[in-house]
Structure 1
Amino acid sequence: MSDFKFEIQETLGVLSEKDTGWSKQLTFTQWGENEPKYDIREWGPSFDKMGKGVTFSREELLRLRDLLNDMNL
């Protein structure tokens, strides 16, 4: 498997943490040479390992916010 570059430009918040040190976070991350995107995924304690995640453009994140605000939780 080839290595890929990423740079977490900003950590926006921690959604949850496990006893193992892994945490699910919302970050603003640049993947490779692409434009940075908002990203939700689990990260290892030193950010050298990661789980699968999902990325959002600014417009998608705003739409997700609106959908969540409209939910009757």
Structure 2
Amino acid sequence: MSEIKFDIIKNIGVLSDDGKGWKREINIVSWNDRKPKIDIRDWDEEHIKMRKGITISKVELNKLKEVLNDINIDELDIG
């Protein structure tokens, strides 16, 4: 299996911290020298290890923003 190459271009923000050194972050990341995209996933403190996440384009980010703006979060049955 080939090594995954990544470059965190910019940290947008931290969504959560598990208290054990892992943080769920929103970053702009270039994967394998490709065009940077928005990335949401858990990272260790040194940004060497990562867990599964989601990577979306600018178009998808705009659509996500529209969807989130149109919902009432307090009415959702989630934890």
Does TM, scored on the shorter chain, surpass 0.5? yes
User: Once the 2 structures are TM-superposed, how far is the Cα of residue 70 of structure 1 from its aligned partner?
Assistant: 0.6
Q: What is the aligned partner in structure 2 of residue 27 from structure 1? A: 27
Q: CA offsets, 1:35-63, max 9 Å, x none?
A: 00000000011111000010110010010
* Aligned equivalent of 1:41: 41
Q: Is 1:68 paired with 2:68?
A: yes
What one-letter code is carried by the residue in structure 2 that aligns with 1:51? Answer: R
Give the number of the structure whose alpha-carbon radius of gyration is greater. 2
Structure 2: gaps (5+ residues): 74-79
Secondary structure of the corresponding residue to residue 42 of structure 1 = strand
- Cα displacement (A) at 1:3: 1.0
Q: TM-score if structure 1 supplies the norm length?
A: 0.95
Q: Equivalents in 1 of 2:21, 2:48: separation in Å? A: 12
Structure 1 stretches of at least 4 aligned residues deviating more than 4 Å after TM superposition: none
Partner of 1:55: 55
TM-score (norm 2): 0.88
Structure 1 stretches lacking a partner, 5+ long: none
Quick one: distance in 2 between partners of 1:55 and 1:48? Answer: 17
Deviation at 1:21, TM superposition (A): 1.2
The residue that corresponds to 1:2 in the other structure is: 2
The share of aligned pairs that are identical, in percent, is: 42
